[in-house]
């Protein structure tokens, strides 16, 4: 596996559920479960792994201090991992060229790339803003697995 094609294929197998791992300040690993998907980076157009992360989480604290992440997707015995630097955009993480409207739309794009659907997008937008959600994109430099 040398690109995100197999990773993206596995995303559809279990609702985009992935395990992400970040590095704590004490050099131990913190892992958690997220929904992730593959989409194009809003600035470069490159394929990346993206997720929406609630504001105020340790995961965001870790990524701000040490901006690398590993994301693993698994369906049955097939799995794929993507590693790389992260790009963060959110109300507490301004990104160049990313105004509030573009962030609102990017949050939707990431959610749908992870297989999400919503019956009330206005409500989705309201919750994302209230929870100070951020977009985290993994700029993959390594993809591997058995998928």
In tens digits, what is the pLDDT along the chain, a chain of 147 residues?
Answer: 557 998 999 998 888 999 999 999 999 999 999 999 999 999 999 999 999 999 999 999 999 999 999 999 999 999 999 999 999 999 999 999 899 999 999 999 999 999 999 999 999 999 999 999 999 999 999 999 986
- Spatial distance between the Cα atoms of 22 and 86, rounded to a whole number of angstroms: 11
- 31, 21 in Cβ contact below 8 A? yes
CB 50 within 8 Å of CB 37: yes
How distant is the alpha carbon of residue 77 from its chain centre? 22
Domain 5-145 has CATH 2.30.110.10: yes
Asked if 66 and 47 count as a contact pair (C-beta separation under 8 A), the reply is no
Three-state secondary structure call for residue 7:
helix
The whole-angstrom separation of Cα 87 and Cα 85 is: 7
> What's the pTM?
0.95
């Amino acid at each position: 596996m040398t690109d995100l094609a197999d990773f993206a294929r596995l995303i559809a197998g279990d609702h985009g559920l992935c395990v992400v791992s970040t590095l704590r300040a004490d050099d131990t690993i913190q892992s958690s479960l997220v929904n992730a998907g593959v989409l194009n980076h809003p600035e470069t157009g490159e394929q990346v792994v993206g997720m929406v992360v609630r504001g105020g989480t340790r995961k965001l604290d870790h990524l701000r201090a040490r901006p690398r992440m590993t994301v693993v997707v698994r369906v049955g015995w097939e799995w794929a991992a993507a590693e790389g630097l992260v790009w963060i955009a959110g109300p507490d993480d301004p990104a160049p060229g990313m105004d509030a409207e573009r962030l609102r739309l990017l949050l939707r794009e990431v959610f749908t790339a992870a297989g999400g659907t919503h019956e009330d997008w206005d409500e989705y937008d309201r919750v994302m803003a209230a929870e100070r959600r951020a977009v985290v994109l993994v700029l993959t430099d390594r993809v591997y697995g058995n998928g």
